[in-house]
Structure formats: structure tokens, C-alpha cells
Amino acid sequence: MGQYILRRVLQAIPLLFIISVVIFALMMSAGDPLATMGGRRATRPSDRARLARQLGLDKPLSTQYLYWLIGNDWDRLDLDGDGVAESPGRRLGVLRGDFGTSLVNRGRPALEVIWDRLPNTLLLMVPAEIVIVLGALLVGIYSALRQYSWLDHAMTALSFVGYSMPIFFVALLSMYLFAVLFRRWGLPYLPTVGMFEPTVGKTPLEVMRHMVLPVFSIATISLAGYSRYIRSTMLEVLSQDYIRTARAKGLPQREVVLIHALKNASLPIVTVVGLDLPFLLAGALVTESIFAWPGMGRLFIYHLERTDLPVVMGILLLISLAVVTFQLITDVAYAWLDPRIRYN
């Protein structure tokens, strides 16, 4: 097992390296970060030239990537434009933990910019994940136990509808129902903008009130998809001989389901938790835009629009790292849960 983990970790490194190269190359042709530095006017030519020098944007692609990866404190830069490279660089590079400074929020380390917003996104994603797991379990188990009942058919149809919907449609519908219509009907309604009302302050209650609709939007689609998956797995497990034996032995239904069946159906649950990350992130991206939630998704779009390379690379790398880590954890959990799976 330890060897397997080590091998996977070692495999992940070139993976992340390839990813960083691909994204870097794409970002290079994504636009000119200097173009919007003039504010409402086009950037002045003299400022363009100077900023390109100071921010290292006048170097060729490979050099820029090198500086990004291992820093430039070992090299000298020509900051004053006289052709003589005399100033030492100040960047340490990603391998030493320095993701560079944001081009848009000039001066702020990219990691700090990202870290500011990351907790807000986690605040949406972790509760969403919990809702998905619990919800999918409930719906899936219930449907499996009551197979072919009208409730089962209804839930199947609903889950089809659920994962055929684009997230923003779910968000808009829930916004319309719970915010607009409820307010019109005089019922207590939910807020739709931001993380908290500035006048009230960032209290846990206020944040939770604002969290309801976004979390619901993110969770719905995955919940719909995974409930079907759990349902089919449970059905498969429930038709096994040992379940029939357990029932024949007179064990109560609850014990049969929860202890014997669920234990063997836990693999899908691990799948749900472990491999759902990319979908959750995509959901967070769209939901944050709709609900103006100050999270990492909106940060990504804002900085992408302005070709802020360090921040975009930082976000992508962190996310890819998270995805790879979660995949590894999932694989390990698989092996741990199912002794039949062996890795050699």
C-alpha cells in the first residue's frame, strides 16, 4: 500500500508539470495584461514599455515560465531600461512557494489574493458535499428499497430532470421561487446577493442565510446523478444471496440495509465524495457568478478577463493539486474498503 501511494505521488509530479506548461502556454495567448492598465484609457506607450520591463512581460515565453517555476533571484533584470541588467530579481518561484504577485492587484502576492477568497468557496462546497452525500444516500436507499413504487418512479424521473438541468437554471429557478415569489407572497424570503449584508455584518447567521440558495444550486445536480448511482448499486447488492440469507435469518430490515447492504455499497459513496471535486468546482464557478458570492470562482473569472497570469496559474495549480490528491485518497480508500482490490 505504501509503495502504491508513493508511486502515485511520484506520478502526480510530472502530471502537474504538464498541466502547468499547458495552462501557461494558453494564458500567453489569452490577452495582454498591460492593455487594461490605463484605466478608462488605453495604456500610454511609455508606461507599457516600462511595465513590460518591470513585470517581466517582455521576456520570451520559456524564460517567463522558468521565472515562474524557479524564480528570478538568481538572475539580473534590467529594470530601468538602460540595457544593462543590474537589478537582482525578487521572485522565488513556485517550487519555493512563491506564486508571484498579481498583475491586476499589483503588489499583492498571488497566493494571498487566492487565499482571501478560498475559504468562501469552501464554505459553499463543503456543505454542498455533505448535502449531496446525505441526500443521495437517503434518496438512493429509499428508492432501492421501494423499487417500482410510484415514489421510486417519481424520484427516478426527478433525478433525470435534475442532472439534465444546467446549474444556472437551477439557481435562477430557486432564486425566483425562494426570493422573488416568496417575497411577493409575504413569506420569509432568502437573500440572493453576496455573502452577507454589509450593514448587518458578517455574522454566522447572516452568512448561513445567504448560503442556502447557492449550496442548494450546487448540490441539486450532483445529488440527482448520484442518487441514481447509489440506487442501482444498492439494488445490485440487495439482490445478493447473503442479503437474502440475512433476511431469512430474521434480521430486522434496518439492520440488513444499514449494516450489511450499505457496507458493501460504500464504494460508490467513496466515489461520490472523492471524485466529485471537479463538478463541485464548476458548480461553484457558475453559482458564485449568479449569487455574487465573493469566492474563488468569481476571482478566477475576474482575473482571467484581465489576463492576470500569476493568479490564474495559482488557482489552476491549486485546483489540480486538490483533484489529484482527492483521486489518490479515493484510490486508497477503495483498496482499504474492498480487500479484493489489489494494487501491484
Instruction: Report, in this order, helix, strand and coil percent for the chain, each rounded to 5.
Output: 70, 0, 30
User: Which sign, positive or negative, has the C-alpha torsion 20, 21, 23, 27?
Assistant: positive
Q: Which of 2, 39, 83, 339 binds another protein (CB under 8 A)?
A: 39
Whether residue 113 contacts residue 299, with contact meaning beta carbons closer than 8 Å, is answered with: yes
Q: Rounded to an integer, what distance in angstroms lies between the CA atom of residue 213 and that of residue 202?
A: 17
Span of 64-72, 138-146, 157-165, 231-239 interacting with another protein by CB under 8 A: 157-165
Position 230 contacts another protein (CB under 8 A): no
* DSSP for 258-324, written as a single string: IIIIHHHTHHHHHHHHHH-HHHHHHHHHHHHHHHT--SHHHHHHHHHHTT-HHHHHHHHHHHHHHHH
Closest CA to 303 of 27, 91, 85: 27
Tell me the number of residues near another protein by CB under 8 A.
116
- For the bound state, the minimum distance from the C-beta of residue 187 to another protein, rounded and expressed in Å, comes to 15
Q: Rounded to an integer, what distance in angstroms lies between the CA atom of residue 126 and that of residue 207?
A: 14
Span of 45-53, 61-69, 140-148, 242-250 interacting with another protein by CB under 8 A: 45-53
Closest CA to 19 of 344, 321, 310, 333: 321
Position 234 contacts another protein (CB under 8 A): no
Residue 170: all three cell numbers together = 437551477
Whether residue 77 contacts residue 87, with contact meaning beta carbons closer than 8 Å, is answered with: yes
Position 252 contacts another protein (CB under 8 A): no
Q: Which of residues 68-97 bind another protein (CB under 8 A)?
A: 79-81, 87, 90
Q: Which of 69, 243, 267, 301 binds another protein (CB under 8 A)?
A: 301
Position 286 contacts another protein (CB under 8 A): yes
Q: Which of 161, 200, 242, 252 binds another protein (CB under 8 A)?
A: 161
Position 49 contacts another protein (CB under 8 A): yes
Q: Which is nearer to another protein, 94 or 133 (CB)?
A: 133
Position 271 contacts another protein (CB under 8 A): no
- For the bound state, the minimum distance from the C-beta of residue 241 to another protein, rounded and expressed in Å, comes to 19
- For the bound state, the minimum distance from the C-beta of residue 282 to another protein, rounded and expressed in Å, comes to 4
Position 294 contacts another protein (CB under 8 A): yes
Position 266 contacts another protein (CB under 8 A): yes
Span of 62-70, 143-151, 238-246, 319-327 interacting with another protein by CB under 8 A: 319-327
Q: Quick one: 252 exposed, middle or buried, by C-beta within 10 A (0-12, 13-18, 19+)?
A: exposed
Q: Which of 66, 179, 251, 335 binds another protein (CB under 8 A)?
A: 179
Q: Rounded to an integer, what distance in angstroms lies between the CA atom of residue 131 and that of residue 260?
A: 24
Q: Which of residues 195-214 bind another protein (CB under 8 A)?
A: 195-196, 198, 201-202, 204, 207
Position 65 contacts another protein (CB under 8 A): no
Span of 60-68, 234-242, 246-254, 306-314 interacting with another protein by CB under 8 A: 306-314
Q: Which of 5, 251, 323, 335 binds another protein (CB under 8 A)?
A: 323
- For the bound state, the minimum distance from the C-beta of residue 223 to another protein, rounded and expressed in Å, comes to 16
Most distant CA atoms of the chain, gap in Å: 89
SS3 string, 60-103, reads CHHHHHHHHHHCCCCCEECCCCCCCCCEECCCCCHHHCCCCECC
Span of 68-76, 138-146, 171-179, 236-244 interacting with another protein by CB under 8 A: 171-179
Position 249 contacts another protein (CB under 8 A): no
Q: Cα 52 to the chain's mean position, in Å?
A: 32
Position 41 contacts another protein (CB under 8 A): yes
Output the CA torsion 268→274→277→279 (10° steps): -10
